[in-house]
Amino acid sequence: MLLELKNLKKTFKNNHVLKGIDLAVKEGEVIAIIGPSGSGKTTMLRNINFLETADAGTMTLRQKRIDMAAPTQEQVLWTRRHMAMVFQNYNLFKNKTALENISEGLIFGQNKSKEEAETLASRALDQVDLLDKKDFYPSQLSGGQQQRIGIARATVLNPDIVLFDEPTSALDPELVGTVLRDMKRLAERGQTMIVVTHQMAFARDVADRVIFFADGQIIEQGSADDVFDHPQHERTQRFLSAIAEDY
């Protein structure tokens, strides 16, 4: 297993957001996490890369075991350098150009030289067909372009896992397609991905495993066909029947 979570718990005040999550991710696996808003999907991702600290739980990443409730600073940095994240609101650095957004992590996270970082960043931009925008600031780019640069910024770091937090939720519908296309390409290259998404068609098309999340727990998981066509749990059935989308 590449990543293993055991008994991940998180509480905000009296709200139990994560009630003991167990999750194992194989190398190259694409996992889609679906579920209603507020069910703890995003919180789980944020706990995995320590943007928030869990109340309990252990994580084993590349055989390295980390207490998620009390990670050392070194473990936090190590984990972040093995994972990358794509945010719902892109979060591109507003004071950096597209190229700098991508090279910054290489220079200051991975100690690469500026020249090497820029070469790699240019290549990553080219992979998302945005090399011609390399000197543009985020404010000069559309939401879709920003998110594709967000994806390039994540993948250029050559991470073990890329975490996607609802990467298309903030986009205009017409821009969603290009972002999903880049994600699909990434999956085809064998990148391990955990994708929190409301794009059921994408989950069905690309994910090796679909996990249905509700009330801070994994309710059901399996192949896309299993979860979408033969949901076992009543809560999953209710969620899927409430979705208007054709998946």
Partner 1 sequence: MRLTKIMTTLLSGLPTTLTLLIFSFIFASVIGVCLAWLSLRRNPVAKGLARGYLGLVRGTPPLLMLLLAYYGLPKLFLLVGIDINDWAKLLFGIAGLSIGWSAYLSEAFRSAYLSVDPGQYEAALVVGMDASHAFWRILMPQTLLIALPNVENLLIGLVKATSLVYVIGIMDMYNTATDLSNQNQGVYQLEIFVVLAFIYWLVVLAIEWGFRQIRKDYQYVTV
Please give the residue ranges that form the binding site for partner 1 (CB under 8 A): 49, 51, 77, 80-81, 83-85, 87, 89, 91-96, 104-105, 108-110, 136-140, 153-154, 157
**Which residue's structure tokens are 């009390």?**
70
Decide: residue 172, CB within 10 A, 0-12 exposed, 13-18 middle, 19+ buried.
Answer: exposed
> Which long-range CB contacts under 8 A does 69-77 form with residues at least 24 apart?
76/50
Nearest residue (CB) to partner 1, 191 versus 217: 191
Give the nearest distance from C-beta 62 to partner 1 in angstroms: 16
Nearest residue (CB) to partner 1, 86 versus 224: 86
Query: How far apart, in whole angstroms, are the C-alpha atoms of residue 31 and residue 153?
Result: 20
Give the nearest distance from C-beta 101 to partner 1 in angstroms: 9
Nearest residue (CB) to partner 1, 136 versus 247: 136
The number of beta carbons lying within 10 Å of the beta carbon of residue 236 is 22
35, 169, 170, 179 from 240: Cα distances, Å: 9, 18, 22, 24
Give the nearest distance from C-beta 94 to partner 1 in angstroms: 5
Give the nearest distance from C-beta 37 to partner 1 in angstroms: 18
Nearest residue (CB) to partner 1, 194 versus 214: 194
Kind of pairing between the strands at 83-86 and 161-165: parallel
Query: How far apart, in whole angstroms, are the C-alpha atoms of residue 107 and residue 100?
Result: 10
The kind and range of the H/E element at 220 are strand 217-222
Give the nearest distance from C-beta 93 to partner 1 in angstroms: 5
Which residues of 1-153 form beta strands (DSSP E)? 3-12, 15-25, 30-34, 56-61, 64-67, 83-86
Give the nearest distance from C-beta 42 to partner 1 in angstroms: 12
Nearest residue (CB) to partner 1, 47 versus 217: 47
Supply 200's token pair.
């059921």
Nearest residue (CB) to partner 1, 83 versus 200: 83
